[in-house]
Amino acid sequence: MAIRIAPSLLSADFGCFRSALQAVEAEVDIIHFDVMDGHFVPNLTFGPALIAALRPSTELIFDVHLMIERPEASLERYIEAGADRIAVHVEATPHVHRAVTAIKRAGKLAGAAVNPGTPVEAVFPLLGDIDYVLVMTVNPGFGGQALIPSTLKKVRALRERLSAEGRTLPIMVDGGIDRTTIRAAKASGADEFVAGSAVFGAEDPVHAIRALRAAAGGVQGNP
Ligand code: DX5
Ligand code: ZN
């Protein structure tokens, strides 16, 4: 099975994002942006201006994970900034269907994200309207946390549901993915793996990505 590693800039040096992109772009096809608003999660990172500033530097797929309240209010700015894929949290708005529909209408890929405490069934009504599901395997807000094992049961239940519906949507897992946990995450049915500290916390990010891929026993897939 083809897998995809998505390095998260959250664990890169915030003063050198451009060099972080350059360090991994020969090895992966996608980069993960953790946008945090200090409300939906207790941490604050960056917004569309940073994404727009990096856009001309690379052809990597920009995978934007919005950990912000009422994302529908600012989707357009992330789309204009150059996001290729945008995930919104089902907990962040009563209008998640409207939000994913707006992303799709703009010609971008839409994802629905669920926190560890949210039943994965929350995304079931959206499966026909989205391009991927982002299952949080830690409580969002910070890099470097340990994967919460119960979240992998949700990944399994989701993969079963997708199979029952005849769908092959990617399941992205995010948080605590390292050489030890990636195998279990893949066995549960995940095929896209966000990795922050396991990549940018390593001395050699390219080596770290290869090690993750080897540990998962897969090859990088194509978009
Ligand atoms: C957590 C973020 C993750 C985070 C993962 O709120 O959504 O993308 O960067 O970091 P690691 O891989 O260090 O758990
Ligand atoms: Zn993330």
Q: Is the CB of 196 under 6 A from ligand 1?
A: yes
Both tokens of 183, joined, read 């195998």
The closest-lying atom of ligand 1 relative to the alpha carbon of residue 65 is: 7
The CA-based dihedral angle spanning residues 17, 146, 71, 100, taken in that order and rounded to the nearest 10 degrees: 100
| pTM summary value | 0.96
State pLDDT tens for residues 165-209.
Answer: 999 999 999 999 999 999 999 999 999 999 999 999 999 999 999
Distance in angstroms (rounded) separating the CA atoms of residues 122 and 135: 11
Contact between residue 127 and residue 169 where contact means Cβ atoms under 8 Å apart: yes
For the chain, domain boundaries: 4-216
Q: For the domain made up of 4-216, give the CATH fold.
A: TIM Barrel (3.20.20)
- 191 tagged catalytic: no
The closest-lying atom of ligand 1 relative to the alpha carbon of residue 175 is: 14
Q: Separation of 21 CA from ligand 1 center, angstroms?
A: 17
Distance in angstroms (rounded) separating the CA atoms of residues 83 and 52: 9
Give me the residues paired with residue 132 across strands.
Answer: 111
Which run of H or E residues covers position 66? Answer: strand 61-67
Both tokens of 153, joined, read 């049961």
State pLDDT tens for residues 156-175.
Answer: 999 999 999 999 999 999 99
Give me the residues paired with residue 63 across strands.
Answer: 32, 85
